Structure 1
Amino acid sequence: MQMRPMIRQLGAAVLAVAIGLSGGTAQAEVRIKDIANFEGVRENHLIGYGLVVGLLGSGDKLNSSPFTRESIRGMLERLGVANLDGAALKTKNTAAVMVTAKLPPFARRGSPIDITVSSLGDATSLRGGTLLVTPLTGADGAVYAVAQGAVATSGYRVDGNAASVVEGVPTIAKIENGAIVEREIDFNLFQLDSVRIALHNPDFTTAARVHDAIEGRLGDGAAEVLDSGTVEVWIGGKDNVPDTMMTVENLTVTPDTIARVVVDEKSGTIVMGADVRIGQVAISQGGLTVRIQENFNVSQPGPVSVGGGTAVITGAPISIGGSTVVVPETEIDIAESDGSFTILRGDVSLEELVNGLNAIGVGARQTIAILQAIKAAGALHADLEII
């Protein structure tokens, strides 16, 4: 029962959040740019294969990473070092890596972008290495950027004779501005007659509000709802595309969401939306707790210990050759707590739900079980999502 004060403090904190959500307006207005993006205006993923050199003996083992050996030999041959025997390569200072990056929209030739370098073989650390020239290609196979530079890792590794310490992940590194854009994506805004807005969370009500906000600013007929996640905006003149997009993305709307309860069973975290409603239901919390504890006692023989057999000392028989024996002992404690009922009336709000759960002093784990039971009873008017 030592956890009851902690449970009540947690309940008070959750209650404070609930009051903040249920008091005043349900949701604030947000900019369209924060809940949606323009279709086609997005990042593109790039990938490449390269070598990191200059490692302090923490590179790939060439016997177990043949692709690293072949890459080293191919690189040296391109640089004029020919007729190499691949089997004779014994370097430990090179690692094969995969290089990934995101090409921003409207990135121009010569612009720098950040890259991520990840070990492909059995290298133990990329710390202190240098990435050699690595072409980065897109999904179409074309080269869009070229990467090279000194590797900066956030993790470290310490090895000893009998133990090792690894902090973070030293086989993954980032290089800020480590790649240069070599090819631009062909996309011309001034050829568009319309732009489409894609909502991050599709919802017909939100789409309708976005439509109304756009028409309220640009005029009737300027927008059309295509589906729950897409709103098309018509451009009055092709010269006005950037100005129109800037105007639209800064308009504010109040997004609408479905009532949802999200439960993370691993951490015991529960998040409930402001629109969650509970039908009339009675909740009881209590039950039987059985605690089992195993104790192991040691039975030690007497101080006289020689070989096998029986001897007589001062006329008293003594067993010779005794051994230490572990004797288990089990303790069982049963505690029964009386269940208590709390009745939640119909159409209960989030604040009233938290008040009811706090009244019977339940914790996060118990609340998860109660919410699942309420959902099974058909009284939880919200989506219950367990992650």
Structure 2
Amino acid sequence: MSRPLPTPPARCAPDAERRIERRVRGLVWLAFVLAGAALWWPAEAARIKEVASVAGVRPNQLTGYGLVVGLDGSGDQVTAAPFTSQSLLSMLQQMGVNVPPGTPLQLKNVAAVMVTTMLPPYAQPGQPLDVNVSSIGNAKSLRGGTLVATPLKGVDGQIYAIAQGNLVIGGAGAAANGSKVQINQLSSGRVPAGATVERSVPNPALDGDALQLAMHVGDYQTARVVAQAINRAKGEGTAVALDARLVQVALPRAPEQRVAFVADIENLEVQPARPAAKVILNARTGSVVLNDAVTLGACAVAHGNLAVTISTTPTVSQPNALAAGRTVVTQQSDISITTGQKSMIDLPAGAKLTDVVKALNALGATPQDLLVILQAIKAAGALNAELEVI
């Protein structure tokens, strides 16, 4: 019996082959485009208002001294905080209430406080402000208290706002029979919209022929691109970079056009300069912060732990019953020093942030150890970044 002939493999039609070929070519072309885009595609742009601000336009600090009343027995103790009773007597005299001299005031529902807030630029009379209230005496809690009218002054001694209102305290606490439980802070709080602006601060930023933009971070490249963006939008010669921090911008002659002019400038998009490599070390908390520009030179790092253990055991020397000696207690100390196994890793030149973090983690270094390790790498000249300890 003859065997059937094998069936030849099916072949695609010419049209199908051409479609597949075109699709493959399209995918290859797309891959080249994406690869090139990864090299030249710019980072996300920022508006000028996010990298600079008008020089001289800033908030001002306001401070005042006042009293919080209505506390449930948690106010200042007069003996420990005599200024509280003195302030209350002065306030009562201003209200026409005369208290005989030498009258002892046993107050438990009053606390002396410091009131602070920020006066924003261009604030106008009647505008409400949030205020922070902090105890300066020995009050246990400000919960449930009311801030009495307190004038808020600037550094020039002038009154710019008046604060008054009920306090909002974010903490909670309770105490009984010598036990105490407290959550968050009870000696400070806020009065939302508790202050009213009484006087505005004049700002001559738009009064002259030009204004200055102050960069949030001093950088020559950022100042240059800001000036170039303004000149492209408003005409050549409108802006000039004075230094790494300031850019001078010519204002329109018509005063009514200046607000719109500044608004247009603030919304222009620029490409900020890449920040300089920097490492921030917090010696108090052990925090280490690095930006993505930090690189390392070729170096080797060794890390080892040295543990010193001192244990003291009391030893009693008991004489015999018929002996004339006495019982003596002595301390016997046992000191041992243990050195952990050292490990050394090689860090190649040009290592990036991820390599730095992985390498330091491989050493088993704690944040406190990183402070010493990074300082040593910087001293060896292998850390290509500015090292700042705060």
User: Normalising to structure 2: TM-score of the pair?
Assistant: 0.78
- The CA distance in 2 between the partners of 1:366 and 1:99, in whole Å, is 41
Comparing 23-32 and 163-172, the one that deviates more: 23-32
Q: Is 2:151 aligned against 1:148?
A: no
Q: Is 2:37 aligned against 1:37?
A: no
Comparing 236-245 and 157-166, the one that deviates more: 157-166
SS at structure 2 position matched to 1:236: coil
Aligned counterpart, 1:248: 265
* 1:193/1:163 CA distance change after superposition, 3 Å: same
Aligned counterpart, 1:373: 376
List aligned pairs for 1:208-287, cutoff 5 A. 208-237=224-253, 238-253=255-270, 254-286=272-304
Q: State whether residues 205 and 211 of structure 2, in contact with CA within 8 Å, keep that contact through their aligned partners in structure 1.
A: no
Q: Is 2:75 aligned against 1:75?
A: no
Cα offset for 1:355?
4.8
Q: State whether residues 309 and 337 of structure 2, in contact with CA within 8 Å, keep that contact through their aligned partners in structure 1.
A: yes
Q: State whether residues 152 and 163 of structure 2, in contact with CA within 8 Å, keep that contact through their aligned partners in structure 1.
A: yes
SS at structure 1 position matched to 2:103: helix
SS at structure 1 position matched to 2:147: strand
Largest Rg, 1 or 2 = 2
Q: State whether residues 279 and 348 of structure 1, in contact with CA within 8 Å, keep that contact through their aligned partners in structure 2.
A: yes
* 1:309/1:120 CA distance change after superposition, 3 Å: same
List aligned pairs for 1:90-239, cutoff 5 A. 90-187=106-203, 191-237=207-253, 238-239=255-256
- The CA distance in 1 between the partners of 2:42 and 2:351, in whole Å, is 16
Partner letter of residue 236 of structure 1?
Answer: P
Q: Is 2:350 aligned against 1:350?
A: no
Cα offset for 1:47?
1.6
Q: Which has the higher strand share?
A: 1
SS at structure 1 position matched to 2:140: coil
- The CA distance in 2 between the partners of 1:358 and 1:75, in whole Å, is 61
SS at structure 1 position matched to 2:341: strand
SS at structure 2 position matched to 1:246: helix
Q: Report the number of matched residues.
A: 351
Q: State whether residues 343 and 363 of structure 2, in contact with CA within 8 Å, keep that contact through their aligned partners in structure 1.
A: no
User: Alignment partner for residue 334 of structure 2, among 330, 333, 343?
Assistant: 330
Aligned counterpart, 2:311: 294
- The CA distance in 1 between the partners of 2:241 and 2:275, in whole Å, is 17
Q: Runs in 1 of length 4+ with deviation above 6 angstroms? A: 23-26, 297-301, 322-327
Percentage of identical aligned residues? 37
SS at structure 2 position matched to 1:227: coil
Partner letter of residue 368 of structure 1?
Answer: L
Cα offset for 1:39?
1.5
Comparing 86-95 and 125-134, the one that deviates more: 86-95
User: Alignment partner for residue 383 of structure 1, among 381, 386, 389?
Assistant: 386
Cα offset for 1:169?
2.4
* 1:70/1:247 CA distance change after superposition, 3 Å: same
Cα offset for 1:114?
0.7
List aligned pairs for 1:297-308, cutoff 5 A. none
Partner letter of residue 251 of structure 1?
Answer: L
Per-residue CA shift, 1:249-290, capped at 9, x if unaligned? 22222233221112234444322222223222233334x644
Partner letter of residue 171 of structure 1?
Answer: S
SS at structure 1 position matched to 2:247: strand
- The CA distance in 1 between the partners of 2:228 and 2:201, in whole Å, is 33
- The CA distance in 1 between the partners of 2:371 and 2:82, in whole Å, is 51
Per-residue CA shift, 1:232-257, capped at 9, x if unaligned? 11112322221122122222222332
Cα offset for 1:99?
1.4
Cα offset for 1:337?
1.9
SS at structure 1 position matched to 2:150: strand
RMSD over aligned CA atoms reads 3.3
Per-residue CA shift, 1:138-180, capped at 9, x if unaligned? 2222221111111222223433343433332222121000011
Cα offset for 1:190?
5.5
Partner letter of residue 336 of structure 2?
Answer: I
Cα offset for 1:98?
1.8
* 1:339/1:121 CA distance change after superposition, 3 Å: closer
Partner letter of residue 232 of structure 1?
Answer: Q
Aligned counterpart, 1:8: none
